[in-house]
């Protein structure tokens, strides 16, 4: 990913993401592997997909019975996500509410049993972003954050500014008195990119809210 295409807007601002999705007409149709690994065994409830992109994660959650609020800063991404959902069984699309909103300022009207954010690069310090997501988790709910690990040299070379996260920024935003961190680790996965096989390093943090703020 090059920053040249988006030079007129700060990297990772809402305008930047809109231009990104306009310039990249295809999107993922399969859910993130870390989401599947961490959420498949959870009982369905209400979920917030923060930074839903083109909708693969939200559709997967809804197909498993979750009532999903899916939010992204890019209206182009949300439009594509709605089209993806429309290709599923009607009950799946009916379980998803799509919203175009900037996650750095948007305030959810409720709290959720699951709040998940996959590879989202907000236009604010990441610890502040995590704190905003954590505030949206209901008592006894789950927070799942997945991002590019600092050790992931491919992401660092192909994304503008800081597109990776560290454990301190995530775990440090979750007070011990309110959270039990269940998973906090780096995982590698193999992906195909431009006819090459690459090893990508993901940072995965899953935490359980033990008490209200």
Taking the C-alpha atoms of residue 207 and residue 210, their distance in angstroms, rounded to an integer, is 9
Specify if 43 maps to a domain: yes
pLDDT band at 13 (very low <50, low <70, confident <90, very high): low
What pLDDT sits at residue 200? 81
Q: What percent of the chain has pLDDT over 90?
A: 62
Specify if 128 maps to a domain: yes
Specify if 24 maps to a domain: no
More confident residue, 201 or 191: 201
Backbone angles phi, psi at 67, to 5 degrees: -95, 110
| Residues 106-131, mean pLDDT to the nearest whole number | 92
Query: Could you tell me if 162 and 134 are in contact, meaning their C-beta atoms sit under 8 angstroms apart?
Result: no
More confident residue, 195 or 156: 195
Specify if 20 maps to a domain: no
Taking the C-alpha atoms of residue 213 and residue 210, their distance in angstroms, rounded to an integer, is 10
Taking the C-alpha atoms of residue 49 and residue 105, their distance in angstroms, rounded to an integer, is 15
pLDDT band at 59 (very low <50, low <70, confident <90, very high): very high
Which tens digit of pLDDT belongs to each residue from 170-183? 999 999 999 999 99
Specify if 36 maps to a domain: yes
Q: How many domains are there within the chain?
A: 1
Taking the C-alpha atoms of residue 157 and residue 161, their distance in angstroms, rounded to an integer, is 10
CATH number for the domain spanning 54: value is 3.40.50.150
Specify if 4 maps to a domain: no
What pLDDT sits at residue 199? 81
Could you tell me the residue range of the domain that residue 86 belongs to?
A: 31-209
Lowest mean pLDDT among 2-11, 47-56, 58-67, 165-174: 2-11
Query: Could you tell me if 34 and 205 are in contact, meaning their C-beta atoms sit under 8 angstroms apart?
Result: no
Check whether 6 has a pLDDT greater than 60: no
What pLDDT sits at residue 1? 33
What pLDDT sits at residue 207? 98
Specify if 164 maps to a domain: yes
Specify if 1 maps to a domain: no
| Residues 184-195, mean pLDDT to the nearest whole number | 80
State pTM to two decimals. 0.86
Which tens digit of pLDDT belongs to each residue from 139-154? 999 999 998 887 666 6
């Amino acid at each position: 990913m090059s920053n040249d295409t988006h030079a007129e807007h700060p990297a990772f601002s809402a305008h930047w993401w809109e231009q990104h999705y306009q310039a990249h007409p295809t999107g993922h149709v399969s859910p993130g592997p870390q989401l599947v690994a961490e959420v498949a065994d959870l009982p369905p409830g209400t979920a917030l997909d923060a930074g839903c992109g083109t909708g693969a994660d939200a559709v997967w959650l809804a197909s498993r019975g979750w009532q999903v609020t899916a939010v992204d800063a890019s209206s182009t991404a949300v439009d594509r996500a709605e089209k993806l959902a429309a290709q599923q069984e009607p009950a799946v699309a009916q379980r998803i509410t799509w919203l175009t909103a900037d996650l750095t300022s948007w305030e959810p009207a409720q709290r959720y049993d699951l709040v998940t954010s996959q590879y989202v690069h907000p236009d604010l310090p990441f610890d502040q972003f995590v704190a905003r997501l954590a505030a949206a988790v209901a008592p006894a709910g789950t927070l799942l954050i997945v991002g590019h690990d600092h050790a992931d040299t491919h992401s660092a070379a192909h994304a503008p500014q800081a597109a990776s996260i560290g454990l301190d920024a995530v775990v440090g935003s979750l007070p011990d008195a309110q959270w039990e961190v269940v998973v906090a680790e780096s995982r590698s996965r193999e992906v195909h990119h431009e006819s090459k096989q690459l090893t990508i390093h993901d940072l995965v943090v899953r935490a359980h809210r033990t008490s209200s703020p």
